[in-house]
Structure 1
Amino acid sequence: MNFRVCDTDLVFLIEGILHAFNKQTVNSSDDVILNGFGTVVTSLGMRVKPHFHQIFDALNQGLQSQNNNKVSKQSADLISRIAAVMKQCEMDQVLCDLCILFFNNLEQEYPEVLDSFLEALNSIIDVIGVTNTTLPMNDLVASLSRLLDERSYKVQEVCINLLGRIAYDDNTCVSRKNWMKICFKILEKFLEPKKVIRTAAVKRFGMILKFTAVSSVTILPILIHNAAAMDRRVCVSSIVAIAIVAEVFSPSLVLIELINKYSVVPDRDAQISLLFI
């Protein structure tokens, strides 16, 4: 959908959506305002470029709000929706500055605001790429790894997706040892009650294996050892991970390792578990 409006009407349109955004009440419908604002900006595309300073001033003020979590959350949610248009309008420096702002606020104590900040950071990185940001990637990965322990499912999902994206774009920013630790933290998410978390964990686990320095020789023996464990949850998640390793690297590699493990395991129950893999 494209808006065909003259320049004068465009000014009124931008001022109108900004007024609606700034004058929200506690009872305002989040989705109506955000979707409407996002649709207008996306539909205008490059035509909104001369007016982005007004939009950004309003959003920046909202992000800096210390007393209203809803305003901060909605400002971040709106940036998630319009990040692609900002890139189209060649606002790369502004996007990089926003990345720094969101990164510096990852200690946010309110999960509902934190997940919006992470989602906005994820959206920006999606459009400008990991290597084009000025973020300290090693510190970012450490923060994301820590946030995987958050209760909020949304926070967990976005952290997993961001770690996968970093592994794809700039895997050298973190040592192989740390990527190994991240792999096993994501492995713990394979059995989360929420399907969206399990799906993200399985997908990104494979991506991290494929694009980082984590080698099958290092991780496979550990997974096979865990698969023979008596703990059902550990066993199931390890078997899923072994299947991913086989897909990413080589089924024959996994088969050889399983045979070697079977021949040295003295416990009969553990041998039977290995056979079921």
Structure 2
Amino acid sequence: MSAWERWIPALLKDELDNRIKDLRTASNRLEHKRAEFVTARRIAEQMQATEVSGGWRGRALPTPATPIVKIKPTTLPIFNGCKREYHRWRKDWESLQWQGEPTGSAEVKKIQLLDSVEDKISKDLRLSTYNTAEDIFRVMENRYGNKSTIAIEILEELEKIPHVRGNQPRRVIDHIQSVEKTLADLTELGNSGAIKNPLVIKSIESKLPDFIKRDWIKFMVNPANDVTSDNHFDMLLKFLKNQEEILEA
């Protein structure tokens, strides 16, 4: 396709793109049905084997039970270009794709991957010109998967959060939840230590309203809490989670 794609007249390109998309959709629909075909064939073979053995001679053959609850098929997650979500998206996508297509068909995997990336990203990176899903992932990894760059961007987003005043409890809760999400995202990257940097901790503390800062200082100087430079962030997070519960109440 990549060999002759450049010769498509401009007036026909949209129409042919739509036809190709329809073919991919039809292919995916057939692949999703493959498991049903395999199950039906297996049941038929079992029935035939039982009938031949004489076990069901003269008796009605059993019919497979109809499921009482029909579960809607899970669609593969779509990547929207957010670096912060890339590694989590890829892990979820590969797990779900394998469960939905356990045969490991390289062609199906490539088509499903192209359908799981927003069109703008696919066009910018020319993903349709690559032969395999592994090649597509390699290109996407170069653009979106650098963990050091992602960690820096995550911390920069946390740094951009404005100072919170005491008469804005919802904003305080949002700030605490942003700290929790930052830790979760960095842990996903295997870089949770980045948020425990003293400068990052100081930035988090500086954005808290005065009444929480005062309570935090009391918490730190209390010998019973044993706050040290090594556990500073962990104790701060423990304290903030408690404040979050109080503010929610």
Q: TM-score, normalised by structure 1?
A: 0.29
Q: TM-score, normalised by structure 2?
A: 0.31
Q: Higher RCO, 1 or 2 (CA under 8 Å, sep at least 6)?
A: 2
